[in-house]
Amino acid sequence: MNFKHFRAAAFLAAFTSTALALPAFADTTIKVLRSEPGNEGEKALYQQMVTAYEAEHPGIHVQFEYLSTEAYKQKLPTLLQSDARPDLFYSWGGGVLADQAAAGFLKDITADVATEWADRYSAAGVKAFTIGGKIVGAPINASEVVFWTNLDLAKKAGIDIPAIKTWDEFLAAVKKAKGTGVTPIVVGGKDKWPLHFYYGYLALREAGADGFAAAVAGKGDGFASAPFVKAGEDFKKLVDLAPFQPGFMDTTFEQASGMFGDGKGLFHLMGDWDYGSAKQASVSGKGIDDARMSILRFPTVESGTGAVADTFGGLNGWAVSSTASAESINFLKFINSPENLAKGATAGYYIPATKGTEAGITNPFFKAMSEHLAASQYHQVFLDQALGADVGATFNDVSADLAQGGVTPQEAATKIQDAWSMR
């Protein structure tokens, strides 16, 4: 070997050695955490999106993890404080989202999406995921809590469901159902938040938008003011009728949903997601046929100042964690595109927050809820989310206490106000 060839061989060997020593470009993994959706079909839809996205973006891998609602709420705070935090995670918005932003767990994505989001989502949807003027996520859907109703049991009890407009008429229907051997209401009391729907909705009916604004602002007696005490009294009237299934405080949401799907209760107060949950959790896996089921809007109360059209529910979506990569934001744009959200709407999984996709809703119950939400001038987000984690937990606790007769309406309202004033 001459010197020239030696130098070339030496250079090639050195280059090869250096190249092997350089780190290879690592693949990117996007971690997504979500509470268990009400329908297995929604999970399948997400998997289809993941497959399509990964095919278009070599080197990008997306991992979805699902947890039951209660497990999700308990695990998420720990994950956000760890190195294992997800890039995107499901959020019910409200004060809990604001608390997460204040703790530094969320990313400001305003510069990436502001114009795009304004063109894509309703103004309320964008606002729900904007904290302190910074966009930190994206809405998926709006939801309304209603009484899901078993029409076979209503017929057995001789109850005219559409005729129920007021709380007193609802209480009369509960009495009538009990008198005919029909369980009036199934509820997952063990999880507490399903019981907060009663106290929270009654508070909305009694206090209205102005009453809630005054309480949040700390005016007067706040959450211990007369309308909130009256809401507890309204709830007590129902509790005194023993309307729930035996052992309701040992029953989870998932179990109660399955019970309704199995035809074991006349009413189940729950959001739109229960349409799929009740079917999925039933013994047959099919639940109640649509023709044998209806929805009843939460009744009005004669003494209340809340508008008849006021709605109570969620405005749910994805939050972006502070450590999320640019690829994660790009994936969020993809899964929450109008086209992909329209697929979920058409399949009957949710009521989308995207502009122009309402026409794709084929589920008759969701279509009715969409109309309710469109007509509503005030939509109260779940209070265990809207009031922040600590006060929200107190609201859930006192709702469960009221359901068991453990506190008076005045004591319940005072506990919430105390928690609010100490936040």
CA angle 295, 299, 305 (to 5 degrees): 140
Residue 108 region, left (φ>0) first, then alpha (ψ -120 to 50), else beta? Answer: beta
C-alpha to C-alpha distances, 162 to 169, 212, 362, nearest whole angstrom = 11, 29, 22
DSSP, collapsed to helix, strand or coil, labels residue 124 as helix
Residue 388 zone, left/alpha/beta (φ > 0; ψ -120 to 50; rest) = left
Task: Identify the residue whose tokens are 């309307």.
Answer: 243
Q: Tokens in use for 108?
A: 């400001």
| CA 397/CA 394 separation, integer angstroms | 5
At 99 the three-state DSSP class reads helix
Farthest CA pair distance, the chain: 107
List the beta bridge partners of residue 64. 32
Residues in the chain predicted with pLDDT less than 50, given as ranges, are: 1-25
Helix (H) or strand (E) holding 289: none
Which residues touch 360 (CB under 8 Å, ≥6 apart)?
342, 345, 346
Nearest Cα neighbor of 294 from 142, 155, 143 is: 155
Residues 6+ apart with CB under 8 A from 378: 208, 209, 306, 307, 310, 311
The token pair that represents 370 in the structure block: 């969409």
pLDDT for position 353: 86
188 vs 194: CA distance, rounded Å? 6
Q: pLDDT tens for residues 139-182?
A: 999 999 999 999 999 999 999 999 999 999 999 999 999 999 99
Secondary structure letter of residue 223 according to DSSP = G
Instruction: Using DSSP, state whether 139 is helix, strand or coil.
Output: strand
| pTM exceeds 0.85, yes or no | no
Provide CB contacts within 8 A for 334, sequence distance 6+: 49, 53, 340
Residue 123: per-residue pLDDT: 84
Give dist(CA 161, CA 266) in Å, integer: 10
CB-based burial of residue 235 (10 Å sphere; 0-12 exposed, 13-18 middle, 19+ buried)? buried
Q: What are the tens digits of pLDDT across the range 288-332?
A: 999 999 999 999 999 999 999 999 999 999 999 999 999 999 999
| CA-CA-CA-CA dihedral for 385, 387, 392, 396, to nearest 10 | -90
Bridge-based pairing of strands 351-352 and 137-144 is antiparallel
Indicate the residue type of 252. Answer: T
CA angle centred on 154, ends 205 and 256, rounded to 5°: 70
Q: Residue 348 has what pLDDT?
A: 86
